[in-house]
Structure 1
């Protein structure tokens, strides 16, 4: 049984402008391949839907941009999209969106074998790998037509998988996958884990392969695959970067906070767990790397992690993993307002924005201590949201969010959509704001927010700050809201005089007081807030084409 993914280059002129990828299912059963591009790294996407059905022994060919960045392809097993369209639609590899994985949050649920690419990367090299960092669900091989090395995992790792990692299983009890020791949470703390290379184990020196449980099972069977987070040391992969300087980040308000780092970009992660409860009016301080890349923070609402923790645990912003978003696939389910950062980016600038590209679920503001511009969406967009975008709703019918036109799929084809800036609309020229439905609603209410995929042209979407100023940033949820005189159930809301820091002490309240209005009455128990750090640096986990 083998899933074979081959790559070749298509030369159109004197320089290659596209590559041809051929995905072949050599398995004797149907699979459902999926495709994802981290749009925080680059906007260039393949000419192919983000998910499709692949019958046994079938092939499909398509083109990808010659400079495709942070791209991944994987196979999903035992899928049924007839009743549920989401991460649980498949036994392995399911994604937000269903058959068509969401272009912003549609990473695959582990265990899953992943093929990864960054084309025209550092040193003008293509980087690629077959990754077992998220576990295994299908054998896989990446070949090419120019004699570069083969990356593969040609062995079915399910049947002989260690029992503590084995699964999920099909209806006959046959193992469809083999989890990583990190995803299986064998050491009990994924935020400070030798298996996950997190916390005190977040460098190559403190997270050697010898400390990763069952590394030898994966690497011994698949020596040409990426076996754990720092497998560059196996000499099959390259590109490790280490950084030590940190930036202080301050976050205010809300109930469940979350942190996520996309390890395909960088292994540098903030000094904070990937999920925690933050009661109403609370604040927390933590540090992030001084060169943090593609970082995200967002808030989740109306969460319940007591049953089947995962993307459906929250009304908005839920993620793979539950309270603690999965380190590699834990992006948030739209609609969700995002705060985004890249520190020490091009021209030694910090880049940051409040993004409505995935819709809106909470007002949000980013400010700083060095006088750089404020990015914000201070308005609750739910109540007046156009009816075709409004929702989800709480138990009394109050709108908790406002979807983007892309996520609502208003034009019927997310893979070729002016609302999504995809397919033939994948450039600023072919996807102007005038072609995006309801752009004016989001941008008119939140002129300092990033309202669609190419909103840089508005000049009030993506903000910068000289990295040399070493800014500390404050993210505030529900800024500048005014309270009504309403008493919410058995709890009346008031403004606190102090906040609790991450070290357990108290400090004076900073930023605007967070006085919760009717729109956020659920904050009497604390509004659901998720801090998610997403790092995706064009496949640092990759094989160099030499």
Structure 2
């Protein structure tokens, strides 16, 4: 089953996701039970904006009849999430959301069409957009499929939209991209759970938008959109325009990018067109990224205060307690976040991380009670300390899934990152980034099918919330399972000598399954330090 996350309100400089989150495990109980397949793909729309928006959904029924199993419009309070099923052959589909004024500040008691009900981003219809004519009103940041063409003849308002054509044919890939053809109103990103390229426009184009394109504006005069040169009708001939690729300019040969006014401004926002093999039945993640604001009206942007932004998203349907540890024997740079916090289901937290964070790790703790102290305060993943792990000794107690990083400020040395099962497993997790570098993950719940000698600990219902490593279950001083003693080199500690290696690596091929797993080629991942990647860690992806 593929799953798509669409998240509103994330930014290049302050990463807080509005997005479609991927590879979401569904559970029959509050415990991490099994994955339940209900459709070929699952989309989750998450509003990480600190205000209410009204997302909308549209399918071009002239291109295909398959439609998502969901409403065409809904109210999304701040930090809210909805999940719905999408057919494998959804064609010419789009989801859009609004910036400060686009399908925000809506009043559906009014009549008069898109511009009367919502100041920007409205549609034919009301709260639920008309299934045949309810496309969003430009200017719009759009995640587009090549079968879609967004209208360019509407009223001067702003819209954010993402569009897909999925494929159930193994010979035809899914197609997706971020489009600024209809202008801009929100940063946006599409990522996925199969390591395919990221499509994005990760900047707020409003404040620096060229004067002829800037707007609309909120009540404080802040620009919440940036029109395309076509939509702004700069050359006065929309039916025969190089900006619109219309009339005598309607072929790629007669409409080169050099003839489109302000092309460089938009293209400088680094969005890309991508394709994804349909046979992977992937999840796509579309993230519309919105800069934080200094006031409720959003009249000022949050300035960047660190080289990297990390986002930790709890996609589990239960509370966990993430923890952060830095090996201060290796480096002194530490993230700008407490060493532990409570993360309710579906919650997200973003924080700054120094460019040279070294030997850092993040993990999740389960079933915690901090009226007790020390590692035993949590059923799994506990640490020395309490809610806040001790900065020098507060590493996670096995079995525990670990997300690990060593970042680099040196342009000649890449970032290194991995998902490690060397200390066992206690939660599914995934590391993604905004630069198209590889995904590291263990998206499978390894507890239920864990080999009997390794299974546990167990919650009050008897459900296994962890799976120990073979090392933790044996003689740790001189063991091929631990690569210790006589087995402390790659040559003397091959994976063939590690018990149950195939269980961990087979289920989570993009993870570190034992101490010398680099030889697998899918354990330790790198990203060019010059890319200055921001990273997202998703629990229960």
TM-score normalised by length of structure 2? 0.42
The structure showing larger relative contact order (alpha-carbon pairs under 8 Å, at least 6 residues apart) is 1
- Give TM-score, length-normalised by structure 1: 0.42
